Amino acid sequence: KVLGIFVGAPENLRCREWFEAIGPVSYRSIQSGNAEIQRWAAFLELSNQSEAWLIGSRNRTEEYTGLYSLASRVATFLPLAKVWKSQVMTLCNLIGVPDAITASSRHADPDCGRPQEMAEIPLEKFDAYLQRHNGECTESVLAAYKTLSEGPITYLERVVAQNRFKQLLPNKGPAIFPA
Protein backbone atom coordinates (compact mmCIF):
# COMPACT_ATOMS: atom_id res chain seq x y z
CA LYS A 1 0.00 0.00 0.00
CA VAL A 2 0.97 3.67 0.08
CA LEU A 3 3.04 5.00 2.98
CA GLY A 4 2.22 8.64 2.37
CA ILE A 5 0.68 11.13 0.03
CA PHE A 6 2.45 14.30 -1.03
CA VAL A 7 0.48 17.03 -2.77
CA GLY A 8 2.92 18.55 -5.19
CA ALA A 9 5.75 17.59 -7.52
CA PRO A 10 8.14 14.87 -6.28
CA GLU A 11 11.12 17.24 -6.51
CA ASN A 12 9.42 19.53 -3.96
CA LEU A 13 9.20 16.86 -1.23
CA ARG A 14 11.78 17.67 1.43
CA CYS A 15 13.99 14.60 2.16
CA ARG A 16 12.28 12.70 -0.63
CA GLU A 17 14.89 9.92 -0.61
CA TRP A 18 14.25 9.26 3.09
CA PHE A 19 10.49 8.96 2.61
CA GLU A 20 10.81 6.76 -0.47
CA ALA A 21 13.31 4.48 1.32
CA ILE A 22 10.65 3.74 3.96
CA GLY A 23 7.82 2.95 1.55
CA PRO A 24 5.78 4.01 -1.46
CA VAL A 25 4.80 7.67 -1.72
CA SER A 26 1.93 8.80 -3.93
CA TYR A 27 2.30 12.23 -5.53
CA ARG A 28 -0.85 14.21 -6.30
CA SER A 29 -1.50 17.58 -7.87
CA ILE A 30 -4.52 19.72 -7.13
CA GLN A 31 -6.35 22.33 -9.14
CA SER A 32 -6.37 25.97 -8.10
CA GLY A 33 -9.07 26.99 -5.65
CA ASN A 34 -9.57 25.82 -2.10
CA ALA A 35 -6.32 23.89 -1.69
CA GLU A 36 -7.12 22.44 1.75
CA ILE A 37 -10.41 20.88 0.67
CA GLN A 38 -8.95 19.66 -2.63
CA ARG A 39 -5.97 18.17 -0.79
CA TRP A 40 -8.25 16.12 1.47
CA ALA A 41 -10.45 15.18 -1.50
CA ALA A 42 -7.33 13.80 -3.23
CA PHE A 43 -6.49 11.81 -0.08
CA LEU A 44 -10.00 10.40 0.12
CA GLU A 45 -10.02 9.52 -3.58
CA LEU A 46 -6.76 7.57 -3.27
CA SER A 47 -8.05 5.84 -0.15
CA ASN A 48 -11.21 4.74 -1.97
CA GLN A 49 -9.31 3.63 -5.08
CA SER A 50 -6.88 1.61 -2.96
CA GLU A 51 -9.61 0.24 -0.69
CA ALA A 52 -7.48 1.40 2.23
CA TRP A 53 -7.97 3.41 5.37
CA LEU A 54 -7.03 7.06 5.29
CA ILE A 55 -4.77 7.60 8.29
CA GLY A 56 -4.56 11.19 9.54
CA SER A 57 -1.61 12.81 11.29
CA ARG A 58 -3.59 15.07 13.64
CA ASN A 59 -2.01 15.07 17.09
CA ARG A 60 -3.33 15.95 20.54
CA THR A 61 -2.04 19.53 20.33
CA GLU A 62 -4.08 20.12 17.17
CA GLU A 63 -7.03 18.16 18.56
CA TYR A 64 -7.07 20.10 21.85
CA THR A 65 -6.68 23.54 20.27
CA GLY A 66 -9.00 22.79 17.36
CA LEU A 67 -6.27 23.95 14.99
CA TYR A 68 -7.11 21.58 12.18
CA SER A 69 -9.34 21.86 9.14
CA LEU A 70 -12.85 20.48 9.22
CA ALA A 71 -11.97 18.75 5.94
CA SER A 72 -9.42 16.65 7.86
CA ARG A 73 -12.33 14.89 9.58
CA VAL A 74 -12.48 12.54 6.57
CA ALA A 75 -9.54 10.57 8.00
CA THR A 76 -10.59 7.07 9.01
CA PHE A 77 -8.15 6.77 11.90
CA LEU A 78 -6.11 9.29 13.91
CA PRO A 79 -3.40 7.27 15.70
CA LEU A 80 -1.66 10.37 17.12
CA ALA A 81 -4.79 12.17 18.38
CA LYS A 82 -3.88 11.45 22.01
CA VAL A 83 -0.16 12.22 21.67
CA TRP A 84 1.03 15.81 22.25
CA LYS A 85 2.98 17.26 19.34
CA SER A 86 6.09 17.68 21.50
CA GLN A 87 5.87 13.94 22.24
CA VAL A 88 5.52 13.22 18.51
CA MET A 89 8.76 15.17 17.96
CA THR A 90 10.49 13.07 20.65
CA LEU A 91 9.28 9.88 18.94
CA CYS A 92 10.50 11.20 15.57
CA ASN A 93 13.96 11.75 17.05
CA LEU A 94 13.98 8.22 18.49
CA ILE A 95 13.24 6.60 15.13
CA GLY A 96 15.63 8.80 13.16
CA VAL A 97 13.35 11.16 11.25
CA PRO A 98 15.69 13.75 9.70
CA ASP A 99 15.81 17.16 11.39
CA ALA A 100 15.05 18.75 8.01
CA ILE A 101 11.59 17.16 8.23
CA THR A 102 10.79 17.84 11.89
CA ALA A 103 12.27 21.36 12.04
CA SER A 104 9.29 22.87 10.24
CA SER A 105 6.91 21.23 12.73
CA ARG A 106 8.51 22.83 15.78
CA HIS A 107 6.97 26.25 15.07
CA ALA A 108 3.73 27.32 13.43
CA ASP A 109 4.29 28.46 9.87
CA PRO A 110 2.91 31.91 8.96
CA ASP A 111 3.33 30.97 5.26
CA CYS A 112 0.69 28.26 5.84
CA GLY A 113 -1.81 30.70 7.31
CA ARG A 114 -0.79 30.48 10.97
CA PRO A 115 -0.60 33.81 12.84
CA GLN A 116 2.81 35.26 13.65
CA GLU A 117 1.81 35.23 17.35
CA MET A 118 1.62 31.46 17.22
CA ALA A 119 4.92 31.12 15.34
CA GLU A 120 6.69 32.92 18.18
CA ILE A 121 5.68 30.29 20.79
CA PRO A 122 8.11 27.34 20.91
CA LEU A 123 6.38 23.96 20.62
CA GLU A 124 7.35 22.74 24.09
CA LYS A 125 5.91 25.90 25.70
CA PHE A 126 2.80 25.67 23.53
CA ASP A 127 2.22 22.10 24.72
CA ALA A 128 3.09 23.00 28.33
CA TYR A 129 0.29 25.58 28.32
CA LEU A 130 -2.17 23.05 26.86
CA GLN A 131 -1.13 20.28 29.25
CA ARG A 132 -1.53 22.59 32.26
CA HIS A 133 -4.87 23.77 30.88
CA ASN A 134 -5.86 20.10 30.61
CA GLY A 135 -4.81 19.34 34.21
CA GLU A 136 -1.59 17.49 33.36
CA CYS A 137 0.73 19.25 35.78
CA THR A 138 4.04 17.41 35.89
CA GLU A 139 7.12 19.25 37.14
CA SER A 140 8.47 19.66 33.62
CA VAL A 141 5.13 21.00 32.36
CA LEU A 142 4.95 23.54 35.18
CA ALA A 143 8.57 24.59 34.63
CA ALA A 144 7.95 25.21 30.92
CA TYR A 145 4.60 26.91 31.62
CA LYS A 146 6.22 29.35 34.06
CA THR A 147 8.48 30.62 31.27
CA LEU A 148 5.49 31.81 29.21
CA SER A 149 4.76 35.52 29.34
CA GLU A 150 1.24 36.95 29.55
CA GLY A 151 0.96 37.65 25.79
CA PRO A 152 1.29 34.03 24.62
CA ILE A 153 -0.96 32.81 27.44
CA THR A 154 -3.71 35.26 26.45
CA TYR A 155 -3.31 34.28 22.81
CA LEU A 156 -3.51 30.53 23.57
CA GLU A 157 -6.56 31.01 25.81
CA ARG A 158 -8.31 32.77 22.93
CA VAL A 159 -7.36 30.07 20.38
CA VAL A 160 -8.60 27.23 22.60
CA ALA A 161 -11.88 29.06 23.34
CA GLN A 162 -12.52 29.96 19.67
CA ASN A 163 -12.07 26.39 18.48
CA ARG A 164 -13.78 24.53 21.33
CA PHE A 165 -16.82 23.93 19.09
CA LYS A 166 -14.83 21.36 17.08
CA GLN A 167 -14.69 19.07 20.12
CA LEU A 168 -18.48 19.12 20.21
CA LEU A 169 -19.05 18.13 16.58
CA PRO A 170 -20.79 14.75 16.44
CA ASN A 171 -19.28 11.77 14.67
CA LYS A 172 -22.62 9.97 14.50
CA GLY A 173 -26.22 11.07 14.23
CA PRO A 174 -28.83 10.53 16.95
CA ALA A 175 -30.89 7.36 17.32
CA ILE A 176 -34.27 7.87 15.68
CA PHE A 177 -36.07 4.73 16.80
CA PRO A 178 -35.92 3.19 20.27
CA ALA A 179 -33.41 0.36 20.53
Question: Is residue 110 situated within a structural domain?
Answer: yes
Question: Is residue 30 situated within a structural domain?
Answer: no
Write down the pLDDT at residue 178: 76
Question: Is residue 129 situated within a structural domain?
Answer: yes
Write down the pLDDT at residue 111: 64
Say how far apart CA 53 and CA 47 lie, in whole Å.
Answer: 6
Write down the pLDDT at residue 8: 85
Q: Do residues 5 and 42 touch, judged by C-beta distance below 8 A?
A: yes
Question: Is residue 164 situated within a structural domain?
Answer: yes
Predicted TM-score (pTM) of the model is 0.84
Question: For the residues 25-37, what does the mean pLDDT come to?
Answer: 81
Length of the chain: 179
**Full domain range(s) for residue 128:** 85-168
pLDDT at 115 over 80: no
Write down the pLDDT at residue 83: 97
Q: How confident is the model at residue 108 (pLDDT cuts 50, 70, 90)?
A: confident
Q: At 125, phi and psi to the nearest 5?
A: -75, -40
The structural domain count of the chain equals 1
Write down the pLDDT at residue 154: 92
